[in-house]
Amino acid sequence: MSTTPTGSAASAAEAGGSPRAAGGGAVRELLVAPVRALVLALLALTGSIVLFVVVAVSLALIPVGIGVFTTPPLIHLVRVWSGHRRLLAADWAGIRIPASYRPFPRDLRSGVTGQVERCSLLLKDPATWRDLLWLLVDMTAGALIVLLAAGLVLHGLFGLLIGAGLWKPVTALDDPYWYGFVPVGGWGTALLAALLGLVLLAAGLKFGPGLVRVHFQLVGAVLTPDRQQQLEQRIDRLTETRHDALDSSAAELRRIERDLHDGAQARLVAMGMNLGTIEALVEKDPAKAKELLSKARESSAEALTELRDLVRGIHPPVLAERGLGDAVKALALRLPVATEVDAELPGRMEAPVESAAYFAVSETLTNAVKHAGADRIWVDISYESGSLRIAVTDDGRGGAVVGRGSGLSGVERRLGTFDGVLAVSSPAGGPTMVTMEIPCALS
């Protein structure tokens, strides 16, 4: 017998847990927010300031030639730094901030000429200047917002310590000691300071999560390109991925032709020749004809197996019959690494999208097995806000990157054909999380 939750219990159930779990999550969020705010403040007041200063100096040295060589690696560091903040925005506030950098041309030259061209391309990219503007905003307004969140809690705790007796050594140095608007000089005023500290602590805990979210919203407002730039970049990306798709399709067609020619076709030709010989021997040498018939039967079985494998490589039967979730589960069963698959899809997507997602997951799992040295792999498949979202996580050694001919570059190109995106979080030592999103509709 099933029951339908009502009231607050229903809300908690819809959120994916019990009311107690939902309440525990809210309390945890209140307690964690000040710590996150302090971390963000330290990042803004250290890394952002240092990067902004050194990049500004490097840009100033471009006219004399030195900056041409120092600016590209520094801008790369800025992009890594802003990418780290994007990850924190997604993990801590659920805010996704797109990275919209222009790709370098494939024929970029090396040497001094290539370095000058690289520097020029970076400075012409609007995303570079958005990153530099973000550094300036992060070390000023961004830092003030999170300092307020962390400062309220820290100052509130200090007030409680004053009320607990810390006022004595404090007033020994400065009598009276002003805690806010309270002049602390004895137990009575110390208790008033503790009361004020309690108010500040409560305010910091209450408004901390909101202030952290405002910080990330400010980050998003600066780093997100405007509508026109987004459309231009999307057109450029679609144009590039379409060319990649055409090249991939041509290569795949050549592979299929080669496999057919070298495999099934060769066996079928040999089987036809055997049948011709059998026809000539069936009356003269029945025993030999019987032997050749047995070989022909084996050749037909092998040709059928090769054809099935070829078809499975183009579009796995389980994918066509049962959908993406079951196809990935079947794929996980064949892996030598323990793999858990959690698939929640309310419907089926179009066959081309489904096939692209399946082979993208297959390539990602293959990379994890071959290169990560993982003991466990987790695959989560869901559909949210008009997009298919797939996360593949492993507990391996980390260090996975997109580019430089890696398998993930092929995954990125495959997803790009459908306007999909790939995000990789893989610090040294692991874990590695590969997230894929493809906008699509379900049937």
Provide block-wise average pLDDT over 10 residues at a time, the chain (443 residues): 34 39 65 91 94 95 91 92 89 83 70 80 90 95 94 90 84 78 85 91 91 94 76 63 57 60 61 74 77 75 64 64 86 85 86 84 84 85 87 84 66 77 79 86 80
Q: Name the token pair of 431.
A: 């874990």
If asked whether residues 270 and 412 sit together in one domain, one would say no
Instruction: Choose one of 176, 205, 225: the last residue of a domain.
Output: 225
3 belongs to a structural domain: no
If asked whether residues 288 and 252 sit together in one domain, one would say yes
pLDDT reported for residue 247:
56
If asked whether residues 171 and 25 sit together in one domain, one would say yes
pLDDT reported for residue 327:
86
User: Which segments within 140-188 are labelled E, that is strand?
Assistant: 177-179, 182-184
Contacts by 299-306, CB closer than 8 A, 24 or more apart: 299/267, 299/268, 299/270, 299/271, 299/274, 300/267, 300/268, 300/271, 302/267, 303/263, 303/264, 303/267, 303/268, 303/271, 306/259, 306/263, 306/264, 306/267
* Collapsed DSSP state (helix, strand, coil) of residue 252: helix
If asked whether residues 434 and 342 sit together in one domain, one would say yes
pLDDT reported for residue 267:
62
Q: Name the token pair of 347.
A: 């419907």
Instruction: Choose one of 178, 195, 225: the last residue of a domain.
Output: 225
User: Distance between CA 394 and CA 378 in Å, rounded?
Assistant: 6
pLDDT reported for residue 279:
74
If asked whether residues 245 and 219 sit together in one domain, one would say no
249 belongs to a structural domain: yes
If asked whether residues 100 and 214 sit together in one domain, one would say yes
Q: Into how many domains does the chain fold?
A: 3
If asked whether residues 276 and 192 sit together in one domain, one would say no
127 belongs to a structural domain: yes
If asked whether residues 67 and 212 sit together in one domain, one would say yes
pLDDT reported for residue 228:
65
Rg (C-alpha) for the chain, rounded Å, is 31
> Which CATH number does the domain housing residue 332 bear?
3.30.565.10
If asked whether residues 36 and 160 sit together in one domain, one would say yes
- What is the helix (H) or strand (E) element at residue 381, kind and residue range? strand 376-384
Alpha-carbon distance values, 89 to 94, 135, 229 (Å): 6, 15, 22
Q: Name the token pair of 113.
A: 């000429």
13 belongs to a structural domain: no
252 belongs to a structural domain: yes
If asked whether residues 40 and 128 sit together in one domain, one would say yes
Domain of residue 35, residue span: 20-225
7 belongs to a structural domain: no
1 belongs to a structural domain: no
302 belongs to a structural domain: yes
Asked if residues 111 and 68 have their Cβ atoms less than 8 Å apart, the reply is no
If asked whether residues 188 and 49 sit together in one domain, one would say yes
If asked whether residues 290 and 387 sit together in one domain, one would say no
Full DSSP string of 72-115: HHHHHHHHHHHHHHHHHHHHHH-------PPPPPTT---HHHHH
Instruction: Choose one of 225, 243, 278: the last residue of a domain.
Output: 225
- DSSP state letter for 166: I
Burial 263-275, CB ≥16 within 10 A → b, else e: bbeebeeebeebe
Q: Which amino acid is at 237?
A: R
